[in-house]
Amino acid sequence: MTRITNADHVLLLLRDHLERTQKTRRKRPSATTESKARPTALERASQLAASGALSDEDVERTIVAGLLAEALGDGVANDAKFQQLVADVVGVLNRDEQAKQLLKQAAQQIVGNGA
């Protein structure tokens, strides 16, 4: 039986997000049909990334934090243990070449979407 690690889970979330982003780009709803709901953690991360005030590493960290906050709930985002988890996951992703490239691709798409 294969064990799924936290890094594997984040990779799955990243892939899912990239697929959803590509689908959304293909079928952009008009501005009048967009919901006025509170933005998700990832949407807020995208807005932060698009501001240009973050380094590439900070954008990647913000993406991982947004994905984890979406998965675990926004309430954990200010917890010191959550911040350590984000740092650990980013470290694991950066040690794997495929994961590192996927994270860079996600960062490029998010910065491109928010601009």
pLDDT at 48 over 60: yes
pLDDT at 24 over 60: yes
Residue 46 domain-assigned (yes or no):
yes
Residue 80 domain-assigned (yes or no):
yes
Residue 19 domain-assigned (yes or no):
no
Q: Where is pLDDT greater, at 84 or 73? A: 84
Residues 6+ apart with CB under 8 A from 67: 10, 13, 14, 17, 41, 42
Q: Which domain holds residue 79?
A: 40-115
Q: What average pLDDT does the segment 15-39 reach?
A: 63
Count the domains in the chain: 1
**pTM value surpassing 0.85:** no
Residue 71 domain-assigned (yes or no):
yes
pLDDT of residue 28: 56
